[in-house]
């Protein structure tokens, strides 16, 4: 944090302190110690990776707040309702999405270990944090992981202005050898909802083409955008590929909602409706050694990733990244120097500690 402006805007804490505070806050509202640790794992992973929209910023409102309002069951136990040797459907019982998702991905990995590949879905769930966390669970097992989720409707279809789709992220994690894993984790809207919240928190304008207002007009005002709709990845219309983002978002809704027998399309809540358990997820994992020798694959992954990073740079650019590299480097930096928490999030966590009557230990 050598930049004075950054030092003013953020507070630093350690990974351990942040994890402990998140877990303590959740147990205070009835979440089991085991489940609280799971949620803390996911949220801290987001903050470490620099994805601040999905880290501790979500704790007070999205998780503790919804539990206190009776919108999430803190004691729900995920249950398998249907399975085969290579597939599983989990009912989250309106519990925390992180808990049901880790349970489902663990089951998928175990089935893939035995049979080579497996897929799973979760229904009746809630927000699950960053999709990349679950895809990355496959990496230690020399597998490629996949994760996605539908969500509250914030996105308009191509040439539409009604919110019909969530931000519906897709995540893929592929192991490498000496290079960091290739981790592609992206919303199928121009940006995730959390980006609007971050820009609003920082009083910054949005970039043109990210969103429309309630009348379908392009806007750079985060508040107007949150009352309107996000655009599909690629932006308005078809000229820059907006129809491709729309198609990907709809694919996620099909894999998560339709395939699981959970909520999809018009069954999903709009914006901030107080729906319970109206989110569904999709997961996959497959063994690399089902295709080729793992060591040889990882060596070729290093070769592949380095080829892109060492290719010719555009004018004025000094580096080319591959997916997951920036987040990996931020994780290393934040573990060594401290995890940055935006001052407004910090103040919100401090307020949460007062409301819950627990020590503020960051």
Distance set, CA 320 to CA 182, 299, 309, 311, 317 (Å): 14, 20, 5, 8, 8
Task: Identify the pLDDT of residue 339.
Answer: 97
Determine which helix (DSSP H) or strand (DSSP E) holds 40, and give its type and residue range. helix 33-48
Q: Which residues contact 147 (CB under 8 A, 6 or more apart)?
A: 101, 105, 131, 132, 133, 134, 135, 170, 171, 281, 282, 283, 284
Q: Distance between CA atoms of 35 and 75, rounded to whole angstroms?
A: 9
Those residues of the chain that have pLDDT short of 50 are 1-2, 4-5
Q: Distance between CA atoms of 150 and 127, rounded to whole angstroms?
A: 9
Q: Kind of pairing, strands 229-230 and 211-212?
A: antiparallel
> Would you say the CATH fold of 76-190+231-310 matches that of 1-70+328-362?
no
Read off the pLDDT of residues 28-79 as tens digits, 9 standing for 90 and up.
999 999 999 999 999 999 999 999 989 999 999 999 999 999 999 999 999 9
- Residue 108 CA, chain-centre distance (Å), reads 19
Task: Identify the pLDDT of residue 7.
Answer: 60
Encoding tokens for residue 301? Answer: 């992954």
| Dihedral angle over CA of 304, 310, 315, 320, nearest 10 | 60
Q: End-to-end CA distance of the chain: give it in Å, rounded.
A: 17
Structure-token match 């925390």, residue found = 96
Task: Identify the pLDDT of residue 1.
Answer: 47
Task: Identify the pLDDT of residue 30.
Answer: 98
The CATH architecture that domain 1-70+328-362 belongs to is Orthogonal Bundle (1.10)
Read off the pLDDT of residues 333-355 as tens digits, 9 standing for 90 and up.
999 999 999 999 999 999 999 99
Going from N- to C-terminal start, the domains of the chain cover 1-70+328-362, 76-190+231-310
Encoding tokens for residue 226? Answer: 């949150």
Count, residues in the chain: 362
The CATH architecture that domain 76-190+231-310 belongs to is 2-Layer Sandwich (3.30)
């Amino acid at each position: 944090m050598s930049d004075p402006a950054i030092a003013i805007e953020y507070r630093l804490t350690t990974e351990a302190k942040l994890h402990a505070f998140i877990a303590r806050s959740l147990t205070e509202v009835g979440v089991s110690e085991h489940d609280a640790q799971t949620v803390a794992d996911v949220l801290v992973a987001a903050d470490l990776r620099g994805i601040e929209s999905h880290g501790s910023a979500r704790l007070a409102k999205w998780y503790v707040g919804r539990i206190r309002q009776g919108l999430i069951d803190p004691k729900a136990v995920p249950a398998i309702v249907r399975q085969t040797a290579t597939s599983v459907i989990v009912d989250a019982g309106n519990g925390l999405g992180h808990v049901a998702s880790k349970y489902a991905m663990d089951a998928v990995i175990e089935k893939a270990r035995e049979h080579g590949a497996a897929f799973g879905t979760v229904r009746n769930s809630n927000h699950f944090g960053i999709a990349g966390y679950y895809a990355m669970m496959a990496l230690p097992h020399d597998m490629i992981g996949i994760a996605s989720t539908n969500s509250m409707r914030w996105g308009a279809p191509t040439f539409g202005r009604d919110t019909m789709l969530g931000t519906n992220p897709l995540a893929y994690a592929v192991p490498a050898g000496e290079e960091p894993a290739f981790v592609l984790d992206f919303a199928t809207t121009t940006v995730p909802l959390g980006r609007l919240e971050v820009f609003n928190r920082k009083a910054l304008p949005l970039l043109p083409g990210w969103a429309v207002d309630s009348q379908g007009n392009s806007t750079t005002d985060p508040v107007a955008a949150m009352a309107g709709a996000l655009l599909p990845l690629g932006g308005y219309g078809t000229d820059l590929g907006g129809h491709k983002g729309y198609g990907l978002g709809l694919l996620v809704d099909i894999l998560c909602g339709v395939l699981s027998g959970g909520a999809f399309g018009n069954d999903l809540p709009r914006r901030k409706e107080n729906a319970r358990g109206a989110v569904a997820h999709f997961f996959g994992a497959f063994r690399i050694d089902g295709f080729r020798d793992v060591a040889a694959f990882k060596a070729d992954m290093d070769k592949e990733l380095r080829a892109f990073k060492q290719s010719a740079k555009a004018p004025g650019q000094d580096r080319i990244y591959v997916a997951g590299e920036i987040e990996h480097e931020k994780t290393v930096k934040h573990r060594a120097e401290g995890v940055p928490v935006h001052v407004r999030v910090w103040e919100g966590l401090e307020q949460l500690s007062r409301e819950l009557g627990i020590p503020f230990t960051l």
